[in-house]
Homo-oligomer: A and B are copies of this chain.
Amino acid sequence: MRACGVVVEYNPFHNGHHLHVKQSRKESGRDVVIAVMSGNFLQRGEPALCPKRERAEMALCGGVDIVFELPYHFAVQHASIFAEGAVKLLDAAGCDSFCFGSESGQIEPFINQLVLEKKDFKQLQQTIHEQMQLGNSYPAAAAESYRLLFGDASGLDLSKPNNMLGYQYIRAADQFSDMTPYTIQRISSDYHDQSLDQSFISSATSIRKKIFEENLEAVSGHLPKDSCRVLSKFSQDSHFLNWEHFWPYLQHMLITSSPQELQTYYEVEEGIEYRLIEAALKSPSFDTFMQHVKTKRYTWTRIQRMLTHLITRTTREEIKQHKEPEYLRLLGMSRKGREYLSRYKKDFKLPVISNLNQQHHDLCAIDIRASKSYAMGFSDPLKRINMLTKDFTAPPVIH
């Protein structure tokens, strides 16, 4: 049995994801598909619509065989650390290939770009540095530097967000694994596109927007039936989460902390702590707070990640101590996934954690704390305490 990996957030699992899983299996010709999925907080510094357990269940229904959790200290990070963590986990779980969606849809341009970059690595670093000195954010500086140095020599348009993320996978895989890369073309509107058109496949962003503005039913045409079922069951005794549910906790923390205390948290730096405190005093909502805080230098995403670290109380020191993945936390598996695991688990480069017990607590401390922080987003106090302990009591989802 051979495995192909995918890196996902499934927030929520929609028709496009379903196609991606099917195509990954087909393109790679592997027997099982292993997903490394972010936990309750995501790469753009946002709480997931629903908990990781529900998202793992949707994934398994949609054809994924095994879901491992991408630990918080890789999941809530900019693209290159995110990609590095995810690729190392897939490699550790025995995948010999991985497949990602891109605007490009062809793997050659990615490989070409890698060759070009390796040749001019130093100059690229220098150009990115210069671009940032001009006041650009890192993603903007990187995109501009690639354009300046390589133009379209590789045939890869790195201004497209999914090409850029995919390229980070390629770079990480080249450095840290022997996995064969595959890519499939993303059908659908751009990642950032918030409009939900009549098409069968729409972006997760536009689906979430519609869910909050209207309801689950309004997006049912864009989700597999099983996703609808899982989300509908979840929302019956609970509610979908977004940043506004965490705003009171963030506000309380900001108005009672000194700038010096805030600086101990990961990514809070360069004096933005003063700006955060000042904005907290005058913002009735998370959205108005963000409007007060954002500047040209800081992308919305970078600020949101910083705030996620505050809500989960993740310090700079802690992140420094966890540069390498140390475990594979199993969230769920299909029958075939179970067979794969029982056959190959012993050869994995990292231990698999199926059920959290006391001895895992130190190892998984950040993930556990992130899960608990996420639980605070539920307005019903009983749901909150139910979620607070779920990570320790619930076994992996079996499909």
Interfacial residues, chain A to chain B (CB-CB below 8 A): 247-249, 251-252, 255-257, 281-285, 312-313, 369, 372-373, 375-376, 381-382, 384-385, 388-389
Contacts and interface: CB of A to CB of B under 8 A. Distances in A.
Contacts of A313: 256-257
Contacts of A248: 248-249, 376, 381
B381 A255 contact: no
Contact of A284 (B252, B284, B381): B381
A372 B283 contact: no
Given A249-B248, A249-B249, A255 B285 contact: no
Specify how many copies of this chain sit in the oligomer.
2
Contact of A373 (B255, B281, B389): B255
A367 to B, nearest CB: 13
A27 B343 CA distance: 90
Contacts of A382: 284
A281 B376 CA distance: 11
Nearest to A375: B255
A248 B381 CA distance: 8
Nearest to A286: B381
A373 B284 contact: no
For the residues of A in contact with B, the DSSP-based class is helix
A373 B256 contact: yes
Contacts of A251: 376, 384
A259 to B, nearest CB: 13
B284 A372 contact: no
26 contacts: A248-B248, A248-B249, A249-B249, A249-B252, A251-B376, A251-B384, A252-B252, A252-B376, A255-B372, A255-B373, A255-B376, A255-B388, A256-B312, A256-B313, A256-B369, A256-B373, A257-B313, A281-B372, A281-B385, A281-B388, A281-B389, A282-B385, A282-B388, A283-B385, A284-B381, A284-B382
A28 to B, nearest CB: 40
A106 B271 CA distance: 60
Q: Which residue, A256, A281, A376, has most C-beta atoms of chain B within 10 A?
A: A256
B249 A285 contact: no
A214 B54 CA distance: 42
A255 B375 CA distance: 10
Contacts of A372: 255-256, 281
A14 to B, nearest CB: 31
Contacts of A373: 252, 255-256
Which 9 residue pairs are nearest across A and B when measured between Cβ atoms? A284-B381, A256-B313, A255-B372, A249-B252, A252-B376, A281-B388, A284-B382, A284-B385, A256-B369
Contacts of A285: 381
